[in-house]
Chain A
Amino acid sequence: MKSRNIAIVAKKELSGLYAEKTIVFAILLQLFIALFSSFLMVGLTAMYDPNAISGYQGVEYGIGYVGEKEGGLYSIIDDRRDLAAYRMDLDSAIASLKERQISAVIWVPPTLPDDEGPIVVTLYTLQNDIQSSIVEVKMKEVLLTFEEELRSVRSERLMMNPIKLNFPDTRGGSNYFEFVFGLLIPLLVFMPAIISAALIIDLITEEYQSGTLETLLSTTVTYSEMLWGKILACILIVPVQSAAWLALLAANGIVVQHPVEILLHVIFGSMILILIGAFCALHYRERTSAQFIFSTAVVVVIILAMAVPYNPLNLLVRLAVGTIGPLHWMILSGIVALAVLLSILLNRYAERIGLLPMR
């Protein structure tokens, strides 16, 4: 194999990618996924955690309270600045709720705090309503406080003694940290690898299906050089995209540790996927079958990998947050060894196919 021929094929494929602007689609796609998943996060948090929406701060919600005023619950609600309790009878409270005069109704039974049985309160809110979700979260806080009060009243009846810890009072913990580092970053950094693996199938099967392979092989380029040129092109675009993601994240204030190590892991991880893709493409020489088998195989590989501790995706996460020592170098060398093994096998396979007639 001549490296010059490989470089020529790789360059041809890269310029093809550039000319078709398909790579723009790939990047748009990734941007879209990133946007949507973070929007989803913000949305979920905002929707279920009212304090995240600034617009809903400082609003006071009316709660219809049906029951005796003496119970602790009434004062817990009324002491909050964002809730106002009104004593009402059940019928008019529900009617007001339906007219949106109040945001929730709570019915409290006359059961005493130190009663034998449970205290069962009934909470009414409106269905399918964003405001109800917010009020429900606020009422949850109220009811948790009330539950704690009741528990301490009944504490003498408790037998088990769970371990207790005293947590420091630093509220406003980050909701996004685990999402960003534990899900978004491995997803974004690894997506280019999957895209490249699908790409290698297209590049190889297209030569077969549109009959351009014979033309290509009538030049000085050999079959293996053609194959490795394409693989090289696919591998080259992976770290470029992943690095762009890391840079973009850093520009957004999310600084990822060990970027160089992360890129190394991504390069060799993607190489394995690309080699699997190449096997599928060489075997079927037809896009539909190759893509179908490959995508099913990738799902199997990813699920298998995730089930194993210290899998490559987990390593990306650990590297990004800086909680892994030199251990990852050992795992990386294992992955490199696997990639080399697959390369040798692929080469053998390609040499055998290269001798066959083209169709």
Chain B
Amino acid sequence: MGMSTLRQISVIARWELLRTLSTMGRGVLPAAIVLFVFLVAASGLAAESGVHLQDGIYRLGTDNVPAGQVIAEDTRFTVYLDSGQSLWNNREFYDVIILNSEVYVMDDEKGRAALTSLERVFERYTALINAEEPDLYAAYPLWIDRRYEKSELDFTATQSGQRVSPIPQGQAPAPQGPIVPVATPDGAVPYDPRVLRAEISRSAVQDDSVGRYTQVIGQESELGSFRTPDQLAPPLPFDSIILIFVFIFPLYFTSQFYMMSIMNERIERRGEILLSVPYHPSAIIIGKALPYLAMMLLISLLIILISDLPLIIILPLIPVILFFLSAALVIGMLARSFKELSFLSIFFSTVATSYLFFPSIFANVHVVSLISPLTLIVLEIQGDSFALTDYIYSTSLFFLTSAILLYAGSVNFNEERLFSLHRLLPRTIEFISAGISKRYPLISVFTLGALVIPFVFMVQLLGLVLFFNLPMPLSLLLLIGYAAVTEEVAKSIGIYALAKILPGGLTWRLVIFGSAATALGFLIGEKLLLFATIAQVTESVFGSILFLSLQVLWMPFLLHAGCLLVVAVALKTGGLRLYVPGIILAAIIHVLYNLIVIGVISL
């Protein structure tokens, strides 16, 4: 069996490769090469002339010619030179006017924004001039050596309410633990003044387009831990983030070919030939995926080699590649038409890219950033290697969801599913119900309850990334509601599918025991995964909302079963119409429970 499956896979893979090459040969490759040359030329041009998106959004009038020349270098400002009197008379026309060296600003939001930008322009200009001072240490008398310490306590200490330790007091706090001697810094800058000047000028002219919006992000310095006060503040790993896009886009593109290859089998029932061969569906799926998998790995390796990066960063990319491929498979099997395929895949890629990309921006700021495998890449590029636990923590969800999606794909890879033309949601339910046995419904919903857990975690972690930016009480409330709705919907999928496929609808026995079995599966899946991975996050306040606490087990079980029972009863009594009201009611109960658990409401 094992040998023959391998042979089946290799036959399908070779066939797929030939087919792809023959379609690509039809004039795509030459056009792609021409476009690639254009792309390089266009990027070169853009790098040369700069990005002209925000040109001329401010109008600035001045009678101070040298200052006007300095400002005009920033394309955001359109500079008008005029006499002081006429500037003053037409002051409504300008956002900013400068008379001699006095700056006047329009008193509205735009005027204030213009002022902030103007100040930055002048800071940059002053820094450039100062870097030329013959006595560098008169212009830059203060240098900071930036050192980081690892906290003995969990990072969550700051978020679980105790922001700072018992402060303020009159006297210095005394450490409770042992005191380890620390080497005294030597108080010297170990760089030549020429290097320092170069770095000041470099960081002054660096046009950090993200920094433009926030104004407070620090820049990466080439002086290691040394910087001027102006360069302080946690740096945005900008170069690494651009690199990530370099990795993600080719991978996403390649997965599109796989998606399309699956979709093509379904058009006009072309795949019937493929299905008629006595191959196992999983062999067909894997065989078709293999060329694309190899291509994605090859592309990643090429980028790594070209950019001269550590080879180990291929490891965090593997789960991402698998995830893209398995999602491409399911989308290719679900979509009914090309436009549905396009929108599903664009939607998926946006959500997936957000999940991958945004946490990695906070790589230097917060441990939550580790939920994205790309953070590992950012860290590795920065020179902080990641540990095995970090790897498991940030990739396990990707491995698990990929495996489950692939499984769902192979179970449904048959004529009945591939060529049916139902709408998207009914099709999705059909796909899920393929995993439900009508003879053993309880075992099926139990397993399903456990299998949805990785997806629930992913959706909830996405919510965590979204909401933890907001001020504290609001973020917590939003997260509670979001988590409740996600969990209730995820749990009810099995019962909903049963209600749909069973000829007589749900029986009362199924309503009660089905709810209990699903809740049990859900709880066991949750605890297993928590145990394996994200103990770090779960300890925080956010974590305790997302993933009910580990200590008491019967309480969360009652909650899960009870909420699901509400939905099941709604389905039993009112049919599928009452599903949404049932979910809402269950989510409200869930939210109330959570509020009691964290002590907002006391009984």
A residues near B, CB below 8 A? 16-17, 20-22, 25-26, 28-29, 32-33, 35-36, 39-49, 53-56, 59-62, 64, 84, 86-88, 90-92, 94-103, 107, 109, 111, 113, 116-133, 136-137, 139-140, 143-144, 146-147, 150-151, 153-155, 157-160, 162-168, 170, 172-179, 181-183, 186, 195, 198-199, 201-203, 205-206, 209-211, 283-284, 286-289, 291-293, 295-297, 299-300, 303-304, 306-311, 313-314, 317-318, 321, 323-324
Contact = CB atoms under 8 A, between A and B. Distances in A.
Contacts of B28: 284, 289, 292-293
A159 B164 contact: no
Given A39-B466, A131-B158, A98 B130 contact: no
Contact of B338 (A53, A90, A206): A206
A178 B117 contact: yes
A61 B135 CA distance: 36
A212 B81 CA distance: 64
Interface stretch (B214-222, B274-282, B516-524): B214-222
A317 B137 CA distance: 43
B351 interface: yes
In terms of DSSP, what is the predominant structure of the interface of chain A?
helix
B49 interface: yes
A124 B148 contact: yes
B509 interface: no
A300 B42 contact: yes
A174 B350 contact: no
Given A25-B347, A167-B115, A286-B23, A304 B188 contact: no
B46 A303 contact: yes
Contacts of A179: 213
Q: How large is the interface on B (under 10, 10 to 19, 20 to 34, 35 or more residues)?
A: 35 or more
B164 A103 contact: yes
B201 to A, nearest CB: 13
B181 A91 contact: yes
Contact of A165 (B67, B159, B341): B67
Interface stretch (B225-233, B318-326, B493-501, B595-603): B225-233
A182 B54 contact: yes
Given A199-B342, A314-B55, A303 B142 contact: no
A179 to B, nearest CB: 4
Count chain A CB atoms within 10 A of each CB in B105, B139, B164, B184 and give the residue with the most.
B164
Given A53-B471, A136-B232, A144-B229, A129 B158 contact: yes
Contact of A306 (B46, B146, B178, B212): B46
Nearest to A302: B42
Nearest to A107: B185
Contact of A307 (B45, B141, B168, B343): B45
27 contacts: A22-B342, A32-B350, A43-B469, A46-B469, A59-B164, A94-B149, A101-B173, A107-B184, A120-B185, A121-B145, A128-B364, A128-B367, A137-B233, A147-B141, A154-B138, A165-B101, A165-B122, A166-B103, A167-B103, A168-B103, A202-B342, A206-B337, A288-B264, A289-B26, A296-B35, A300-B42, A310-B55
Contacts of A123: 144-147, 232
A284 to B, nearest CB: 7
A300 B174 contact: no
